[in-house]
């Protein structure tokens, strides 16, 4: 086990019990914990604010909820798991027979010991989620039903963390903060994003990296609405989710399909020889569908391990911290690290001596490579960079066409640039 994987897993365990939704104190408590690891700029957007074609909803908070039998025993208890309550349930206090209560109960008959995750964000409803085994054990009779919640004007809360780069052009890394008591979806994504931001802050990257911690769908839409005038700075982006299960890595391409982030992730995953899958874009999934909506059409892909709805534990109580692996978290972080290292060094160059091959020996370029263990590769990389530095090909093109490691190609470009043979 890697120390960073263990640390990220510990963060998942801290975040897991909090009752999150698209608004409310659970989101704020989540961001408070993330704020212990990163300085965050927290934004509060009032209920009723128009955001693109949507409106910021009322804020939902909950203090307690239960179903109690005739003896007062809590058969279903929100205190045991925040999944037990239908998200955004309106308040209720009543006594009713089981036959009437059943209309408000959600179970998973095919997984009778698991509790499902269900919500009703934009339709006034109330309900409980419970194991089918629990429901089967409930005899007919009257039950006390109580949901102590409020749905009132308030705010939608999201946060940003910015790692300044050498240029103002931005890479966004987005993760959703709205799911209660689901470890892989998406506290694993939050943990990886948090540690990725910490790593990037240890150096000065080329791009400026903006990390967005926001509730799913409405949070990304709100961010886009509030940043519409500056969204042109966003050159690349990645949505992180389901980052900690033991499945193989999956990259979902942007709507463009040939955005630089798509090419980089395909290259890194293939070159690393990790088991992986690359999927075409679809307008369903996580917040990549908002960033890739046709009006914005940003180069934003999505990195997961097993994709949404692709594993039985998805949106159930079985998506708990035990389902998340420290090794998988560390591996997802490593892929992000490798991908952004390529993205930061990828450039288009122009050969300043394009007629014939320039003499590298008299410029000391071959001698400069003498101490390398991959001297032959480095020499070939110089020749490839010179040949493809025509303003149309970038270093990733060179690496893919030559079959050489990207770092070797980038190092060769740096030496040629320093010698005055190529320019950006």
What is the C-alpha separation between 218 and 233, in angstroms, rounded? Answer: 22
Query: At 361, is the pLDDT very low, low, confident or very high (cuts 50, 70, 90)?
Result: confident
Identify any residues that bridge with 131 across adjacent strands, giving them in sequence order.
none
The model's pLDDT over 116-131, given as tens digits with 9 standing for 90+, comes to 999 999 999 999 999 9
The model's pLDDT over 388-421, given as tens digits with 9 standing for 90+, comes to 999 999 999 999 999 999 999 999 999 999 999 9
Identify any residues that bridge with 208 across adjacent strands, giving them in sequence order.
170
Does 84 appear as a known binding residue?
A: no
In sequence order, what are the residues at sequence separation of 6 or more whose Cβ sits closer than 8 angstroms to the Cβ of residue 325? 5, 9, 244, 245, 246
Question: Is 209's pLDDT higher than 90?
Answer: yes
Q: What is the pLDDT of residue 372?
A: 61
Query: At 1, is the pLDDT very low, low, confident or very high (cuts 50, 70, 90)?
Result: low
The pLDDT of 289-301, averaged and rounded, is 98
Residue with tokens 């914005």: 296
Give the domain ranges of the chain. Answer: 3-57+155-345, 61-152, 348-423
The model's pLDDT over 378-397, given as tens digits with 9 standing for 90+, comes to 899 999 999 999 999 999 99
How many CB atoms neighbour CB 405 within 10 A?
Answer: 15
Domains 61-152 and 348-423 share a fold: no
What is the C-alpha separation between 213 and 41, in angstroms, rounded? Answer: 10
Does 393 appear as a known binding residue?
A: no
* pLDDT above 90: percentage of residues in the chain: 95
Identify any residues that bridge with 175 across adjacent strands, giving them in sequence order.
213
Does 315 appear as a known binding residue?
A: yes
What is the C-alpha separation between 112 and 110, in angstroms, rounded? Answer: 6
The CATH number of 3-57+155-345 is 3.40.630.10
The pLDDT of 317-326, averaged and rounded, is 98
Q: Strand, helix or coil at 179?
A: coil
Instruction: Write down the pTM of the prediction.
Output: 0.96
Is the bond leading into 186 cis (omega within 30 degrees of zero)?
Answer: yes
Residue with tokens 């957007």: 45
Q: Which of 285, 192, 280 is nearest to 243 (CA)?
A: 192
Q: What is the pLDDT of residue 9?
A: 98
> Would you state the CATH architecture of domain 61-152?
3-Layer(bba) Sandwich (3.50)
Q: Where are the beta strands (DSSP E) in 355-424?
A: 390-394, 422-423
CA of 168: how far to CAs of 158, 164, 208, 259, 260, in Å?
A: 22, 8, 6, 19, 17
The model's pLDDT over 227-258, given as tens digits with 9 standing for 90+, comes to 999 999 999 999 999 999 999 999 999 999 99
Q: What is the pLDDT of residue 232?
A: 96
CATH of 348-423, one of 1.10.10.520, 3.40.605.10, 1.10.10.10, 2.40.30.10: 1.10.10.10
């Amino acid at each position: 086990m890697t120390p960073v994987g263990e640390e990220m897993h510990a963060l998942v365990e801290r975040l897991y019990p909090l009752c999150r939704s698209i608004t409310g104190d659970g989101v704020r408590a989540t961001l408070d914990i993330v704020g212990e690891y990163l300085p965050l700029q927290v934004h509060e957007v009032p209920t009723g604010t128009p955001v693109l074609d949507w409106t910021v909803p009322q804020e939902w908070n909950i203090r307690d909820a239960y179903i109690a039998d005739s003896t007062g025993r809590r058969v279903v208890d929100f205190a045991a798991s925040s999944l037990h309550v239908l998200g955004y349930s309106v308040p209720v206090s009543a006594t009713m027979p089981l036959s009437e209560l059943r209309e408000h109960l959600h179970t998973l008959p095919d997984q009778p010991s698991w509790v499902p995750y269900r919500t009703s964000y934009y339709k006034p409803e109330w309900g409980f989620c419970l194991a089918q085994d629990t429901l089967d054990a409930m005899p007919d009779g009257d039950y006390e039903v109580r949901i102590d919640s409020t749905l009132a004007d308030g705010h939608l809360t999201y946060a940003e963390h910015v790692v300044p780069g050498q240029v103002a052009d931005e890479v966004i890394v987005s993760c959703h903060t709205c799911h209660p008591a689901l470890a892989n979806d998406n506290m694993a994504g939050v943990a990886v994003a948090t540690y990725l931001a910490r790593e990037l802050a240890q150096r000065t990257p080329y791009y400026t990296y903006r990390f967005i911690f926001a509730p799913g769908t409405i949070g990304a839409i709100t961010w886009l609405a509030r940043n519409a005038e500056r969204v042109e700075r966003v050159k690349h982006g990645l949505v992180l989710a389901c980052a900690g299960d033991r499945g193989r890595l999956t990259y979902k391409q942007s709507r463009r399909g040939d955005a630089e982030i798509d090419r980089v992730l395909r290259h890194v995953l293939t070159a690393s020889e990790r088991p992986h899958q690359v999927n075409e874009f679809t307008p369903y999934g996580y917040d990549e569908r908002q960033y890739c909506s046709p009006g914005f059409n940003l180069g934003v892909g999505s990195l997961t391990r097993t994709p949404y709805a692709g594993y039985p534990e998805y949106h159930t109580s079985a998506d708990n911290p035990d389902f998340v692996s420290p090794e998988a978290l560390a591996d997802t972080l490593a892929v992000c690290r490798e991908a952004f290292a390529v993205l930061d060094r990828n450039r288009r160059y122009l050969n300043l001596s394009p007629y014939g091959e320039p003499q590298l020996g008299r410029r000391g370029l071959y001698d400069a490579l003498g101490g390398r263990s991959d001297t032959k590769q480095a020499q070939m990389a110089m020749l490839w960079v010179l040949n493809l530095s025509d303003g149309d090909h970038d270093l990733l093109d060179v690496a893919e066409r030559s079959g050489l490691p990207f770092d070797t190609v980038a190092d060769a470009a740096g030496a040629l640039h320093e010698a005055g043979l190529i320019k950006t």
